[in-house]
Structure 1
Amino acid sequence: MFFILFTVLSFATSLLFELVEQFAGVRDFIVDFDLAAEIKLDGVKPFRMSGLLVVRNLEDFYFLVKKPDFVSNLSFAYFSRIKRLVFGAESFQDFENLEIPISSIVQAIQSALRMLQTPLVSVRSEGDYVILTFSRFVAQQLQEPIKVRLEMKDAQLRSIEILSPSEEEKIILKINNLILNAKTDEYFQLRR
């Protein structure tokens, strides 16, 4: 019995390790994704969107909304060195000087990854999913305890699901395409 339990835990941990290993040192990447959310607020309110996120050197960010149609082709590019947000659509472009604390965002992501290595999070595997549940201590810090499921196929992250305990409320980020160490400069060329 102990051997089976150890094997299951080792498998889940190795999948998580492979995931962290893939992202280690990556500073440029492109993610094409679909986001779906079902949140209870006077009934269940579904929300759906598709987009493209491009990150250059973990400093500059480009975000393109693909769906819903009424805001499709709306794009945002943030240039951290000059602290400028450029936004617009096909026929319109504007900018605003804006300081976004990028280092705080990167530190938060690094802290989340470090937390996965502590006993504050339990990790188990169910088929193609790695399930992360938080210890009682962490759950008490949250307004509502959550469960995180990472779908892995062929050592690639396919989706991230954040679920309420009852799984009635959820946020699902489906990764359609993920390119690590991508060539990203073309996304940061401004119209003249």
Structure 2
Amino acid sequence: MTEFPLPRALRTVDQPMAFTPDEMLRGALIAWGTFLALLAAGLVVLGLGTALSSGRLDLGGVGPFIMLVLFVLLLAAIASGVVMSFGLLLVRAIARSLRTVRSFTAHLAVYSFLGIFVGFLYLAVVTSGRPFGVMEFLPGGAVIAYPALAAAVALPFGWWWTARRALREDAGTTPPRRPQRDRDAVAEDRATN
């Protein structure tokens, strides 16, 4: 019987999955940027779908639509930035408790759950405590629910991207993001020049 190896993403790693503050911030920024990109793409797709389904594709409405998308993205960037700032405290505690867990799958599951939880909280706030009743807001239910979906995808993706990069840097297969400078050598070079 032939055994099929697990994909690399589902294997355990040889070392503890510790993190640095830079890696945590990098993951948060990647998740934030991914959330905003998914939100923008979703708004454009939903806007195009609405325009095509109504049978009226008016080019005069493109400018106002772009302004609306940019306004929504600005509001979403500010709100999600505030949420991310406070969420980093929770993520730091979660990351510390998981630093000895070597299973990539366990980490991905925890951050996926965290993304779903953030999306659920968003829906609870937007729907006045009835997150499962979001589709009662039809036809705008999809527009209301899309940020929750974007958050549920962005959080685990931010962790995965950052963990993958950090593990590659630790293994020496990817150069470090910022070259490490020896401060003593820099000071000695300045003194001799």
TM over 0.5: no
Answer 1 or 2: which has greater strand percent: 1
By relative contact order (CA 8 Å, sep 6+), the higher-ranking structure is 2
| Structure with the larger helix share | 2
Instruction: Normalising by structure 1, report the TM-score.
Output: 0.30
Which structure has the bigger radius of gyration? 2
